[in-house]
Amino acid sequence: MDLWYTEKHSENVGITMKVTETLFSGKSEFQQLDIVDTLEYGRMMLLDGLVMCTERDEFVYHDMITHPALFTHPDPKQVLVIGGGDGGTIREIMKHKKVELATLCEIDGLVIDKSVELLPSMACEIDGNNPRVKLHVDDGLAYIREHQNEFDVIMVDSTDPIGPAVGLFEEDFYRLVFGALKEDGIMIAQSESPFYHAEIQKNMYGNLRAVFPIVEMYQAFIPTYPSGFWSFAFASKKYHPVKDFDRKRAAARDFYTKYYNEDLHLGAFMLPTFAKENI
């Protein structure tokens, strides 16, 4: 039998992959979770039918949601990840020796459990064995309300703004994030595709600008996401991701990054005209 999975990226376009095996399929209190094996991209996690990550291209997303902020902030010690239950973001954060503690606040415990079981290359640091990682199964909004003025960097590793993540794109949430950061803190959030999601971006970046003095967009090429042209928001109280970037420290990193490097850090903030119009 030939089994193919399609995620529609618009009414008329989608991405289709040949599936060899369904490893898990089930519904949590929050969403539908599926983990399947594909011929081209390896194991793949879907939430409510949308591609979250694949073994083959997750390095792009997880390098880019973490390293630009961690090489801009001079001394990131306390880091919070909201969402990110697959563990890929925490895995990259752990490569930074300056980080004393990374907290993962994921609303859906099933995503963490199934990632540890079925996606070990991503979830290797969230299996409960790393003392520098703290796991919290909780709503991100509720969590940061109780943890004001605590973090150097906060990364919002969310799904699209439908379902449980809607609140993570709103101004009220960004105000709470602002308060949860120390006075020179940085927030990163995945910010959808400039090609397909102009309206979502305009709304999201408007909300960020209402709260943070420095707001920039940067891009990454992620083959399995809508259009492949993906983006992240860099919202900051003090440090600018290009002007305050410590190129020497990034170049001297003592770990391998398959996507990120000190040249790409700067290049990622250079945007095509149509993307600039969304921020």
Crossing angle of helices 198-209 and 171-180, in 10° steps, is 50
157 is known as an active-site residue: yes
Catalytic residue among 86, 108, 157, 160: 157
Angstrom distance (rounded) from CA 130 to CA 116: 13
Looking from the CA of 9 toward its CB, the CA atoms found within 13 Å total: 19
Name the residue nearer to ligand AG3 (CB basis): 5 or 61.
Answer: 61
Least Å distance between CB 226 and ligand AG3?
5
Least Å distance between CB 7 and ligand AG3?
6
Name the residue nearer to ligand AG3 (CB basis): 91 or 96.
Answer: 91
Name the residue nearer to ligand AG3 (CB basis): 35 or 51.
Answer: 51
Name the residue nearer to ligand AG3 (CB basis): 50 or 186.
Answer: 50
Angstrom distance (rounded) from CA 55 to CA 109: 21
DSSP 127: S
The b/e string for 68-84 (b: 16+ C-beta within 10 A; e otherwise) is bbbbbbeebebbbbbbb
Least Å distance between CB 254 and ligand AG3?
24
222 CA to centre of own chain: 12
Name the residue nearer to ligand AG3 (CB basis): 76 or 85.
Answer: 85
List of residues contacting ligand AG3 (CB under 6 A): 50-53, 61, 84, 86, 88-89, 157, 159-160, 190, 225-226
Least Å distance between CB 62 and ligand AG3?
6
DSSP 172-227: HHHHHHHHHEEEEEEEEEE---TTT-HHHHHHHHHHHHTT-SEEEEEEEE-TTSTT
CA distances from residue 71 to 60, 90, 129, 247, 249 in whole angstroms, order as listed: 16, 15, 26, 8, 7
Cβ pair 207, 178 in contact under 8 A: no
Least Å distance between CB 159 and ligand AG3?
5
Q: Which residues are catalytic?
A: 157
